[in-house]
Amino acid sequence: MELVEVIPLPNDLTVEVWDQSRPIASDTSKVDIFFRMKVDLDPSYFINPEHYQLVKKVFGPQIFFEYRMERAFVNNREKDAAFQELLAAFKKNTLPYLSKPAFPRNLAISKHRDIEKNPYKYRLLFQNLSI
């Protein structure tokens, strides 16, 4: 895993671009790009203070946006071009959404919604946190 780029956004967030590509066979590779962005939780993102406390208990003071783009069985001669193609698509299609001022709030609310709708995913955390 190699950090290949850090993209600052106008909403004061930063996207990290990680290359997780690996060989599959002697002549092919899996091109794998992992994007990660840290968002500090803020109580103002939530209408109900209890929602903030719940998200903070489950995820901590920071939440993460993570996204992956992959292409398997790429000829080794074409893997750099495939990587650049995936990166360009992410920048064109996803960065405008991540750059919006409301994105941190929307991400925090979506994390709360996920906890509420899928408590089974967090049941071990709930047991350890006495929620």
Q: How far apart are CA 100 and CA 126, in angstroms?
A: 32
Alpha-carbon separation of residue 86 from 33, 51, 101, 107 (angstroms) = 8, 36, 25, 23
Q: How far apart are CA 87 and CA 115, in angstroms?
A: 31
Confidence (pTM): 0.87
Token digits of residue 50: 């209890």
If one counts the domains in the chain, the total is: 1
What is the domain extent for residue 40?
2-129
Question: Which neighbouring-strand residues pair with 31?
Answer: 71
75-122 pLDDT tens trace: 999 999 999 999 999 999 999 999 999 999 999 999 999 999 988 888
